[in-house]
Amino acid sequence: MASSKRIKTQYPGVYYREAQRIGGTGTERIYYALYKRDGRLIETKIGRQFSDDLTPAKAALIRAQLIEGRRSTRKELRQAEMDNAPWTILSLWEEYKRRKPNLKGIITDQNRFEVHLRHLQNMKPEEITTTLVDNLQLSLANSGKKPGTIKNVIELLRRIISFGEKKGLITPSQICAHFEMPILNNQKTEDLTPEQLNNLIAAIESTKHKKAGQMMLLALYTGMRRGEIFNLKWEHIDWYRGFINIVGRDDGLGAKSGQCERIPLNDLARQLLSSVPKGQSRYVFPGKSGGRLVDIRKQADALKKEAGLPDSFRPFHGLRHVYASLLASTGKVSMYELQKLMTHKSAAMTQRYAHLRDDALKKASQTASEAILKALNTSSRINGK
């Protein structure tokens, strides 16, 4: 490692630092040039005393050539090589991350790239064919990967190549693959019977896992997501106006939409939150140190077991679905209102509950039918007299 101390030479703008000699014992000099070009001060490494056979005089000559533009710095040469090099899947991915450093989910995407796409890193976009994509899907399926995982991997590869086209880094003629995305049928709308729901409430009232119980009740009363509950701070609760503000965050800890959302603070939620002790932490349900809670799965699973709920039931996500299902089944809430309450980005995400609302409307319509028949029968009896 080179010393940080600059040592001047007899030539202006040329200095060196002492460093361990490469391939030998002792030290050697590493020469640097300091100069201005186009009004900009540039400091660049020229080379090593023994490895590059450099002397102060040779270093001064190279510095003069750099000033006159007859020679490029090592950095400029590396950049030129990069500019002239063909784009590969890896270089497109690195450029994608450079231009979108704060993109939500980038860490998860990086893990997908490392695990599933790293073997394609040196391939050019035009070498990614439909057959290759199909074989990748088949390989992932044969290794036991779930359809959702396969879809995410293929979508990431497609996104990388599409990014290169949109930014003008590659041309449409270089895109040879047709990405046929796997069809998923993994929408799981969990529900609880009235008996199961009563058992859960009873378990929450008697359990020692009070924090987990309160958080699960909040999911049931408001439909909030697990991450939104974990990230909930006292300042997010608008007691006066009667709303819970869900703050959008790039790290995925806030609203899933990435935008600020708000949901009504109904009576049950207000009563629950009012009963939560307010300590020194800004978080409503803080971790041990007062910071954001990281995980409460063990306690939530214990509560689920105490209530006798199915093993497949997800404590937080499942209760969010129970909230939506109960709401839709009343027939008193429009799908648009349900979408806003669930903070769904699109109406399509709310459609899974449409049949519940339809059933409620059918029952209401049947009630009207029965009322009309009753009125007609009464009228007939009156007219008969």
Reading the chain (385 residues) residue by residue, the pLDDT tens digits are: 566 788 999 999 999 998 888 766 788 899 998 888 777 888 888 888 888 888 999 888 888 888 777 776 665 555 544 555 688 899 899 888 888 877 777 888 999 999 999 999 999 888 988 888 888 888 888 888 888 888 889 999 999 999 988 888 888 877 877 777 766 555 555 678 889 889 999 999 999 999 999 999 999 999 898 889 999 999 999 999 999 998 754 433 444 444 578 888 999 999 999 999 988 899 999 988 888 888 899 999 999 899 998 888 888 888 888 888 888 888 888 888 888 888 887 777 777 777 766 776 677 777 777 777 777 776 555 555 5
Task: Give the chain as a 3 state SS string.
Answer: CCCCCCEECCCCCEEEEEEECCCCCCEEEEEEEEEEECCEEEEEEEEECCCCCCCHHHHHHHHHHHHHCCCCCHHHHHHHHHHHCCCCHHHHHHHHHHHCCCCCCHHHHHHHHHHHHHHHCCCCHHHCCHHHHHHHHHHHHHCCCCHHHHHHHHHHHHHHHHHHHHCCCCCHHHCCCCCCCCCCCCCCCCCCCHHHHHHHHHHHHHCCCHHHHHHHHHHHHHCCCHHHHHCCEHHHEECCCCEEEECECCCCCCECCCCCEEEECCHHHHHHHHHCCCCCCCECCECCCCCECCCCHHHHHHHHHHCCCCCCCCHHHHHHHHHHHHHHHCCCCCHHHHHHHHCCCCHHHHHHHHHHHHHHHHHHHHHHHHHHHHHHHHHHHHHHC
Same domain flag for 139 and 272? no
Per-residue model confidence (pLDDT) at position 182: 65
Same domain flag for 51 and 94? no
* In a domain? residue 180: no
Same domain flag for 132 and 262? no
Per-residue model confidence (pLDDT) at position 250: 40
* In a domain? residue 367: no
- Domain end (from 84, 116, 145): 84
- Count of CB atoms situated within 10 Å of the CB of 165: 16
Q: Residue 260 sits in a domain of what CATH number?
A: 1.10.443.10
* In a domain? residue 186: no
Q: What are phi and psi of 124, to 5 degrees?
A: -85, 155
* In a domain? residue 333: yes
Same domain flag for 201 and 331? yes
Same domain flag for 161 and 208? no
Question: What is the number of domains present in the chain?
Answer: 3
* In a domain? residue 354: yes
- Count of CB atoms situated within 10 Å of the CB of 85: 9
CA distance 203 to 142: 42
Per-residue model confidence (pLDDT) at position 1: 55
Per-residue model confidence (pLDDT) at position 175: 82
Q: Give which of 214, 199, 266, 212 is closest to 237, Cα–Cα.
A: 266
Cβ distance 246 to 219 under 8 Å? no
Per-residue model confidence (pLDDT) at position 184: 55
CA distance 165 to 278: 52
- Count of CB atoms situated within 10 Å of the CB of 333: 18
Same domain flag for 156 and 12? no
CA distance 146 to 151: 9
* In a domain? residue 108: yes
Same domain flag for 216 and 322? yes
Per-residue model confidence (pLDDT) at position 253: 42
Same domain flag for 144 and 284? no
Same domain flag for 200 and 346? yes
Same domain flag for 112 and 229? no
Same domain flag for 80 and 96? no
Per-residue model confidence (pLDDT) at position 254: 44
Per-residue model confidence (pLDDT) at position 39: 78
Cβ distance 301 to 295 under 8 Å? no
Same domain flag for 274 and 342? yes
- Domain end (from 84, 102, 132): 84
* In a domain? residue 370: no
Per-residue model confidence (pLDDT) at position 242: 92
In terms of residue numbers, what domain contains 294?
A: 194-358
Query: CA quadruple 24, 51, 74, 120: dihedral positive or negative?
Result: negative
> What tokens does 3 get?
């010393």
- Domain end (from 59, 84, 109): 84
